[in-house]
Homo-oligomer: A and B are copies of this chain.
């Protein structure tokens, strides 16, 4: 089952907080909005600056959750993506 985002949206699979602490972004424990990260699974045809496979960083409360074939995802507007993380 494939989810094709509409508008300026991408489908993202959130990376676990535990993983990020070990190797990459560490979310500081304070009152500010804490960014999260995830892998882009699919993008709308209207999206140009992000591609499938990109690891994106976004605000903790960005997007809407949905579950496809038992897996959890986020649908996020590209304006809510802070940037792409490259190794």
Contacts and interface: CB of A to CB of B under 8 A. Distances in A.
Interface of A: 1-7, 9, 11, 24-28, 30, 32-35, 44-46, 49-50, 56-57, 59, 64-70, 72, 75, 78-79, 81-87
7 contacts: A1-B24, A1-B85, A2-B87, A4-B86, A6-B84, A27-B67, A59-B64
Taken together, the copies of this chain in the complex come to 7
B3 A85 contact: yes
Contacts of A75: 35, 57, 82-83
Contacts of A34: 65
A35 B3 contact: no
Contact of A82 (B28, B66, B79): B66
Greatest chain B CB density within 10 A among A28, A46, A56, A65 is at A65
